Amino acid sequence: DVKVTQSSRYLVKRTGEKVFLECVQDMDHENMFWYRQDPGLGLRLIYFSYDVKMKEKGDIPEGYSVSREKKERFSLILESASTNQTSMYLCASNPGQNYGYTFGSGTRLTVV
Amino acid sequence: AQSVTQLGSHVSVSEGALVLLRCNYSSSVPPYLFWYVQYPNQGLQLLLKYTTGATLVKGINGFEAEFKKSETSFHLTKPSAHMSDAAEYFCAVTSGGATNKLIFGTGTLLAVQP
């Protein structure tokens, strides 16, 4: 069964900390995505990557960066966590254009 | 630009009743359309998708959706709701062009009353 694995289900971090959210897929997919999900706002794209070391900004990249050193791993980095980054973070991957996504289980991040 | 509108952020039905969740899209290119379901504290799971061909698409758990180009709609239906269908449902459309992004609606939370 294909899988996207997010390293943590729940995280609590302090304001100003540097936070790493990890995502690994075992499907050899080219494309990987990071979304955040907030009530009433749906899913908003933060960053995506279509190849190793390649990345593009999504709709809300401010305060975030990403890293994709290997095809299977896509990391989201909060450079200096703030309380308005408290959210559910979802990682997804797909093999190409017009395919649906496979999602991870999500990481619920609380910044205090 | 592509966009998705889901009418009704909350829908409540009785067990055994028809489920109808509405989705309208805007797209400048032939759309690929998707419905996802999310159970509490979980990621999203693909219910069904329309790419090309037959406009009535059947998915998992007894759900189906019909692509109506003239109405720019892709409504999700299920003839008889079950308690286990209570979840949040998201409609999505491809963003077009060379990118592989999906554009998501804001979701509809389905409650099923006994």
Express each pLDDT in B44-93 by its tens digit.
Answer: 999 999 988 888 999 999 999 999 999 999 999 999 999 999 999 999 99
B40 or A46: which leads in pLDDT: A46
Residue A95: predicted pLDDT: 85
pLDDT at residue A58 in the model: 92
Beta-carbon pairs below 8 A across chains A and B = 59
List the beta strands (DSSP E) in B30-83.
33-38, 44-50, 56-58, 64-68, 73-78
CA distance A36 to A14: 19
Contact A98 B100 (CB under 8 A): yes
Given a cut of 60, is residue B105 above it in pLDDT? yes
* Nearest Cα to Cα of residue B108 among B37, B4, B10: B10
Residue of B nearest to A96 (CA): B100
Does the structure show a pLDDT above 70 at B99? no
- pLDDT by position in tens, chain A (length 112): 669 999 899 999 999 999 999 999 999 998 999 999 998 888 999 999 998 988 999 999 999 999 999 999 999 999 999 999 999 999 999 887 667 889 999 999 999 9
| Residue B65 CB neighbour total at 10 angstroms | 26
- Would you state the pLDDT for residue B96? 65
Chain B nearest CA to A95, separation (Å): 9
Residue A68 host element (H or E): strand A64-70
